Amino acid sequence: MASRKITRTPSAEEILDTYKPVAIRLAAGMTSNDSYLSHVSDDIANRALMELARKMARETVDNPAAYMMWKMKRLKLDYLRQRKGEISRLILWEEEAAAVRGKRLGDDVDTRRHWFNSRGLSADIISKEEEQMANFQALAMTEIMPDDEDREILRMRFYEIDKSISDIARQHGNRTPASMANHLRKLLGSQDTPGALTSVRDAVGELSLATAMAFCREITFLDGKSLVSDPIGAAIAHFEIASTYSPAHQERAATGIAHLRWIQRNQPSNRGLPNKILNRLIRAACFYVVETNDARHDEYDDLGLHDDVSVVAAVQRAVRKYRN
């Protein structure tokens, strides 16, 4: 009797190891001509790769590369639709924010009579939320500083509004007001030049209020977790474990891992204060991911990883923009 050939279905790990370079190459080629899509190239590759693994677990795929290419085209369209929606919301917010600021010198129309007042949007609520966000940004910029004296200088600058630059200079090394102003400009930047802390302000400013508050908590306790040698690896491991909770968790975890892998490949050196701040921001983002009970509990909600991904995405953009 002729022997029957037995074929073994490859495991998910084998599929990922075999086809990951192909997925990365295909995604990079497909997104190279679009600056927005190139930022999510790793995400597209990972999601297509996960779909291939699920497909091959159920049936034979004759041409895995062609299957991933087909999946990537659909993902590309999804991202483009998402970008269009984000732009629409930003335009709407820009109009409403301009109206909240009220009539400016030289305006022909008093924007306090803007259409948004008739649709139930409260200017007071927006103003309070903007104030809360400004407070979270100030807290994050103060607490992320590695130097205790700089933290105290920033606390005085942000919270003791009755103190002038001269007062702050006198209380810290008896400096001249000009030297203190230059030091603060180095930290906070100016309209034309980013400072060492501009990356922190921008990253926190992208988050929701609840997520920003939870992220500030991680920044505040950052020095107490300084013994963790590989925070990025720990965050990736947490995402991998969380990806088993539900299909929604798996999708968000793939996105989070893609962001962290990019940060891992492009991590700033520790030369210069802006890079040191960025590295502390990265550590804080990783500790946020590892913390299960953050702005949204990671396990008990299908959207439990949404806030974690938003934090690492905001930090990735800050690293991309401000690393030296």
Instruction: Let me know if residue 204 belongs to a domain.
Output: yes
Query: What's the CA gap between 37 and 76, in Å, rounded?
Result: 8
Mean pLDDT in residue range 21-43:
82
- Report CA dihedral (283, 289, 290, 293) to the nearest 10 degrees: 130
Query: What's the CA gap between 187 and 169, in Å, rounded?
Result: 15
Number of domains in the chain: 2
Q: Within its chain, how far is the Cα of 217 from the centroid?
A: 16
- Report the sign of the C-alpha dihedral through residues 313, 317, 318, 324, in that order: positive
Q: What letter does residue 33 receive in the DSSP assignment? A: T
Tokens representing 316 are 């990735």
Instruction: Let me know if residue 216 belongs to a domain.
Output: yes
The domain boundary residue, chosen from 73, 101, 129: 101
- Report the sign of the C-alpha dihedral through residues 287, 239, 48, 75, in that order: negative
The domain boundary residue, chosen from 44, 71, 101: 101
Mean pLDDT in residue range 16-42:
82
For residues 53 and 71, the answer to whether their CB atoms sit within 8 Å is no
For residues 294 and 242, the answer to whether their CB atoms sit within 8 Å is no
The model's confidence at residue 57, banded by pLDDT at 50, 70 and 90, is: confident
Instruction: Let me know if residue 254 belongs to a domain.
Output: yes
Under DSSP, is residue 66 helix (H, G, I), strand (E, B) or coil? helix
Cα–Cα distances (Å) from 74 to 51, 148, 319, in that order, read: 12, 50, 28
User: What DSSP string runs through 82-131?
Assistant: HHHHHHHHHHHHHHHHHHHH-PPTT-SS-GGG-GGGGGT--HHHHHHHHH
Whether residue 59 is predicted with pLDDT greater than 90 in this model: the reply is no
Alpha helices (runs of H) in 163-246, residue ranges in sequence order: 165-171, 177-188, 198-205, 209-220, 231-242
Residue 109, pLDDT score: 41
Instruction: Let me know if residue 125 belongs to a domain.
Output: no
Instruction: Let me know if residue 262 belongs to a domain.
Output: yes
User: What DSSP string runs through 245-284?
Assistant: S-HHHHHHHHHHHHHHHHHHHT---S-SHHHHHHHHHHHH
Instruction: Let me know if residue 302 belongs to a domain.
Output: yes
Q: What are phi and psi of 196, to 5 degrees?
A: -60, -25
197-35-317 Cα angle (round to 5):
20
Residue 284, pLDDT score: 95
Q: Among residues of the chain, what percentage have pLDDT more than 90? A: 35
Question: In sequence order, which residues have a C-beta less than 8 Å from that of residue 123 and are 6 or more positions away?
Answer: 99, 100, 117
Whether residue 313 is predicted with pLDDT greater than 60 in this model: the reply is yes
Give per-residue pLDDT as tens, 185-223: 999 988 778 999 999 999 999 998 889 999 999 999 888
The model's confidence at residue 310, banded by pLDDT at 50, 70 and 90, is: very high
Whether residue 308 is predicted with pLDDT greater than 60 in this model: the reply is yes
Mean pLDDT in residue range 295-308:
86
Tokens representing 182 are 């230059």
The whole domain housing 296 covers 197-322
Whether residue 311 is predicted with pLDDT greater than 80 in this model: the reply is yes
Give per-residue pLDDT as tens, 85-121: 555 545 444 444 444 444 433 444 444 444 334 444 4
> Which phi-psi region, left, alpha or beta, contains residue 74 (left: φ > 0; alpha: ψ -120 to 50)?
alpha
114-105-129 Cα angle (round to 5):
50
Q: Which residue has the higher pLDDT, 112 or 43?
A: 43
Instruction: Let me know if residue 181 belongs to a domain.
Output: no
> Which phi-psi region, left, alpha or beta, contains residue 200 (left: φ > 0; alpha: ψ -120 to 50)?
alpha
Instruction: Let me know if residue 292 belongs to a domain.
Output: yes
Residue 145, pLDDT score: 94
Mean pLDDT of the chain: 81
The model's confidence at residue 9, banded by pLDDT at 50, 70 and 90, is: low
The domain boundary residue, chosen from 55, 80, 101: 101
Same domain? 204 vs 317:
yes
Tokens representing 26 are 């295909």
